[in-house]
Chains A and B, each alone.
Chain A
Amino acid sequence: MAAIYPLTFAALLFSVGVYGVLSRRNAVLVLMSVELMIAAVVVNLVAMNEIVATQMGDPLLTGQAFALFVLGIGAAEVGVGLAIVLLLYRNRANVNVDDAELMKY
């Protein structure tokens, strides 16, 4: 199988995720976009694992192991992220990212 397919899939997911992160107003939607980006990274890791294994063999399964770690970290991130969103909502009564501009000049 040509290696380019999963890699392109990952690139597509990542770019779409970036678009979502930049353009969405709702914080929950931003979080979802982040999930997309993480998924893209995981796809890339798994694909790379296979590419490396094909070329020189990889007894440690580095890519897959890392993919698993990223999965775990992604789950943790969603948990904390949603907690922050909840807090944001509680303090401001909405979850619009561009209303959270306390850092403005």
Chain B
Amino acid sequence: MAAPELFMLSALVVGGAASLLVVTARNVVHAALFLVVALVSVAASFLWLGAEFLAWAQVLVYVGAVIVLILFGLMLTRAPIGPMAQHNENRKLAAIVAVALFALLTGLNVASFGGETIELRTTGAGQLGEVLYLQWAFPFVVLGFLLTVSLIGALVLARREEGEGPLPDPGPHEEIAAAREPAPTDATPIPGGPTPGREIGSR
């Protein structure tokens, strides 16, 4: 086994283990930290595939910005940071699906690319930049536009609307809802169902 394979395998093992810990960790902050490890190992695999620019972009964007964002999100939502049950009742279904999916993908990979080899080479940042700004210029600009829009969208969504309290209290909220709905005098109007007074079901 040559060195690249060995390295790739180690990235696979480290990244895989980290990712497994991400989805199983009981402590939310720990999960975020394991995500750092997993993403770093992804970046490492990029390096060995010769995609230098992507590798560093991955480190900067994900390991840097995204993880910080997620940690901020954790703090802002005042999620219980300590260890606790983070799984729901779908766990078994999820496990079965994941395993089946993995088996399927691996099987397909082996069947399709079992004998393929990759000639390792290095794609420099300059090389990528050249195609990016010449051949891929339009999608690239669109991507920039998308990022702007999502920035604005995130701002609009997260902005606190007037009259909205810092911590919602379910009580008054329901009262407001009741006030908006004008006097639902007849019992539960189910769409398509008989309403009182029309005497349908009674026969």
On whether A and B touch (CB less than 8 Å), the answer reads yes
Interfacial chain B residues near A26, Cβ < 8 Å: 28, 79, 86
Give B201 Cβ to nearest chain A Cβ, in Å.
19
CB pair B98 A18 closer than 8 Å: yes
CA distance A30 to B120 in the complex (A): 35
Query: Which one of B70, B113, B117 contacts A32 once the chains associate, using CB atoms below 8 Å?
Result: B70
Chain A residue contacts of B90, Cβ below 8 A: 22-23
Q: Which residue of A12, A18, A73, A82 contacts B97 across the interface (Cβ within 8 Å)?
A: A18
Query: What are 25 A-B interface contacts by the 8 Å CB criterion?
Result: A1-B8, A4-B114, A8-B106, A9-B16, A12-B16, A14-B105, A16-B20, A24-B87, A24-B88, A26-B28, A32-B70, A46-B54, A49-B51, A53-B121, A54-B119, A59-B131, A60-B136, A64-B128, A65-B136, A68-B53, A72-B147, A78-B66, A82-B73, A84-B157, A86-B157
Report A-chain residues with C-beta under 8 Å of the C-beta of B105. 11, 14-15
| B interface residue count range (under 10 / 10 to 19 / 20 to 34 / 35 or more) | 35 or more
A3 near B113 with CB under 8 A, answer yes
CB 8 Å contact bits of A56-73 with B (1 = contact, 0 = none): 000111001101110111
Selecting from B39-47, B175-183, B192-200, the interface stretch reads B39-47
Which residues in chain A, 33-53, are within 8 Å of chain B measured between CB atoms? 33, 35-36, 39, 42-43, 46-47, 49-51, 53
A2–B5 contact, CB under 8 A? yes
Q: Which residue of B lies closest to A95 (CB)?
A: B77
Across the interface, name the chain A residue whose C-beta is closest to B113: A3
The answer to whether B70 touches A65, judged by C-beta atoms less than 8 angstroms apart, is: no
Task: Please give the residue numbers on chain A whose beta carbons come within 8 Å of chain B beta carbons, in ascending order.
Answer: 1-9, 11-26, 28-29, 31-33, 35-36, 39, 42-43, 46-47, 49-51, 53-55, 59-61, 64-65, 67-69, 71-80, 82-87, 89-93, 95, 97-98
Which B residues lie at the A interface, using CB under 8 A?
2, 4-5, 8-9, 11-12, 15-16, 19-20, 22-23, 28, 31-32, 35, 38-39, 42, 45-46, 48-51, 53-54, 57-58, 61-62, 65-66, 69-70, 72-74, 76-79, 85-91, 93-95, 97-99, 101-102, 105-106, 109-110, 113-114, 116-121, 123, 127-128, 131-132, 135-136, 139-140, 143, 146-147, 150-151, 153-155, 157-158, 160, 164, 167-168
Shortest C-beta distance, A78 to chain B (Å), equals 5
A82-B106 contact in complex given A4-B113, A72-B146, C-beta closer than 8 Å: no
Partner pick for B143 among A15, A28, A72, A91, CB 8 A cutoff: A72
Residue in contact with A93 in the complex, picked from B58, B69, B167, CB distance below 8 Å: B167
Contact of A89 among B39, B62, B77 (CB under 8 A): B77
Closest-CB distance, B160 to chain A (whole angstroms): 8
